Structure 1
Amino acid sequence: MARPHTQSFDKKKTVAENRRARFDYALDDIYEAGIVLTGTEVKSLRFGEGSIAESYAEVRDGQVWLINSNIPEFSHGNRFNHEPKRPRKLLLHDREIRKLHGAVARQGMTLVPLSIYFNGRGRAKLELALAKGKKAHDKRATIKERDWKREQQRILKDTG
């Protein structure tokens, strides 16, 4: 079975990546969403600080929110600094929001953030995936497949 080609976006500078998500979840659709940020949050992200390891997204009142993401306070932000773990609104088209809401409500899927990056125009974007959690046996199969691919490459390298 051929592996589906994932859609790639114009990523100039990746700030935070959730590498564990590809192991823990079976990813279906991947979306690019804008993030509503304050000035000190953008500055903090430009310095390469931020984490989305434990974060998730949810649909509330017809809007998508990024929950539990950590963007630390900006060091020179004085009294105008932001709250590090506040919920952040994600910018998506209405059609995409309805599709995500339907999948989460009916099919029991999860919205998992994969990475935060700056695109070519300097805008902060979030790569958001519609995913279904993997069971323990699925994770073992993934590990087994990855080890077999690595072994194949070694064999081809030695014989080639």
Structure 2
Amino acid sequence: MSDRDGSVARDGGELDGFHVGHVPAGVGTEVSDFASEWDEVSFATQVWERQVAEGYRVDLRVHVLRVDRLTDLTALRDFLADYHERDPAGGEWAEFAHPDGPGLIGVGEAFWLVEPGVAVDVLADPERCDRAGLAATARAITRAAASA
């Protein structure tokens, strides 16, 4: 798959039961996976970064969140506002149709509720990935096929 500028995007692999099917061209090639917990929410995270003169810069992050209290899109939005330390009423969010469930997309972030208790949050550096690229990346994150 090619991005708008003709450069080739790549597959991002597996993350906690999901397949990251599209990493935009121009996103760094250094990849780290880790697990964490914040406010009783389990996170599985994959980060793509690139080396810059000052060290490393994160270009793309994908979080898979798991906790029972994420029951609807409003609960997810409010949790992410707290987690990212932003005003829950702030930002310009548009409805985002992901094949797995309802979501919202804004500048540099898209998230959706896969099912009650499971959500995905994608954050991209807006200088490396515009809204169309973010939406393409988010829509390409799908549940991984079950092992036979």
What is the TM-score with the length of structure 1 in the denominator?
A: 0.28
Give the greater-gyration-radius structure (CA).
1
* Structure with the higher strand share, 1 or 2: 2
Q: Which has the higher helix share?
A: 1
Structure ranking higher on relative contact order (CA contacts 8 Å, 6+ apart): 1
Please give the TM-score of this superposition, normalised by the length of structure 2.
0.29
